[in-house]
Structure 1
């Protein structure tokens, strides 16, 4: 691989941006296609399918597509019983997961062994590790003082999934607060609430299954980065 191409690839990976290394097997020529540039590429449809599946492979007899996706990350706001069930399920499913909760009585290593845990307010935790389009945000504290800020940041960042625990009545009040904070209503509509797939879940473990199902569905059906970025332009 050409050194400049390697540097470009490493830069995209470091910035958590998806890309595809396209190799012409017959001639050995290689080029890097960034996710934001896919729509304008001559192989747009095939590149979009490869990015959607995350799988590398041959295209016809002479082209090889090497897909590089950032590790999908689930950021859970709230060290709740649901979070305890969700953490191992997410790991098995191939997602990085971290939990953020300033309530130190809940956010303890004893309750979440082996889980990346931040016993901090979300504004501080997300300053170190900002959200991006390869993040899912799951808010489960039921406390606006904790949940609202990361939900706002998730909408602004174009996270591929945003969900919040609560009834429709609770969410209606949440929508009012987010509108007052300056978010357009059509962007707030991206927040899934009540959270998770409609499987009549009732226990924390069942709700965790419903949430993970929604996250996986959103990840596999996500739009390309350029389209998500367009959604965030001023209305």
Structure 2
């Protein structure tokens, strides 16, 4: 790999932007494709598929065998609300390779005893969230049922282009939430991004089952194209 290509690759990775190194197996010729350029690339279908899987692999295109080396940021999960569902959700997400952070200003909930080995921030969202540098490779869930905590957290998530945003609550609860968010400047496009009721419809009842349904929905958002996500919902 040329030094200039390596420097460019490292810069993209440092900025938590996915990048794919395309290598012609026969000639050894290489080129770098940044995430923002995938849609216009001749290999956009192959590049998009490998990036969704988060795996490198061999493809054939235009009569050539090409190796696509995928460099994707580690996915993160930010959970607002140190509740029972979060206690089940955090270890599931960690087992799937996510970096997990739990935020809750209520210190009675956000305690190390309830969340061993999980970073906890016992601050209000306006203080806790900005330093986390939430980005597109972040899944964001709001689980407190408290508008004073969940609403500002969701507004922050809208501004950070998270690949998944979910919030706990019934359709009626979500309708009231949407009204509050509109009053605070959220657009219809923002509100439409919230998965609510949160999680896939698998009949989940217990906190652990709800956690499984949430993590399944997050996985679908990360790995499946939009049409297949709709079919899975």
- TM-score, normalised to structure 2, is 0.91
Which residue of 2 is the match for residue 28 of structure 1?
Answer: 28
The correspondence for 1:108, drawn from 108, 111, 115, is: 111
- TM-align CA RMSD: 1.4
1:70-123 Cα deviation digits (max 9, x unpaired): 111110001001000111111112222110111111111111001111111222
Q: Which SS does the other structure have where 1:74 is aligned?
A: strand
1:169 matched to 2:172? The reply is yes
> 1:28: Cα distance to partner?
2.1
**Equivalent of 1:82 in 85, 94, 101:** 85
Map of 1:228 onto structure 2:
none
Give the SS at the match of 1:5.
Answer: helix
CA distance in 2, matches of 1:73, 1:143: 23
Q: Aligned residue for 1:158? A: 161
Q: Which runs of 5+ in 2 are unaligned?
A: 227-233
In the other structure, the counterpart of 1:65 is 68
Q: Aligned residue for 1:233?
A: none
Give the equivalent residue in structure 2 for 1:46.
Answer: 46
Gaps of 5+ in 1: 224-235
1:128-155 per-position Cα deviation (integer Å, ceiling 9, x unaligned): 1122111111100111111111211222
Q: Hey, what does 2:223 align to over in structure 1?
A: 220
Match of 2:129 in 1: 126
User: Closer, same or farther in 2 for the Cα pair 1:182/1:19, shift >3 Å?
Assistant: same
SS at match of 1:202: coil
Per-residue deviation, residues 13-53 of structure 1 (Å, max 9, x unmatched): 11111110111222222211001100111211111111111
Q: CA deviation at 1:6?
A: 1.1
Distance 1:152 1:221 in 2: 25
**Displacement of 1:62:** 3.3
Aligned partner of residue 213 in structure 2, secondary structure: helix
Match of 1:197 among 194, 200, 218: 200
1:208/1:178 Cα in 2 relative to 1: closer, same or farther (>3 Å)?
same
For the residue of structure 2 that corresponds to 1:109, the secondary structure is coil
**Structure 1's 185 and 221: CA in aligned 2 closer, same or farther, altered over 3 A?**
same
Query: Deviation digits for residues 45-70 of structure 1, max 9, x if unmatched?
Result: 11111111111111235311000111
Please point out which of 172, 176, 191 is paired with 1:188.
Answer: 191
Runs (4+) of structure 1 exceeding 6 A deviation are: none
TM-score, normalised relative to structure 1: 0.90
What's the CA shift for 1:198? Answer: 1.0
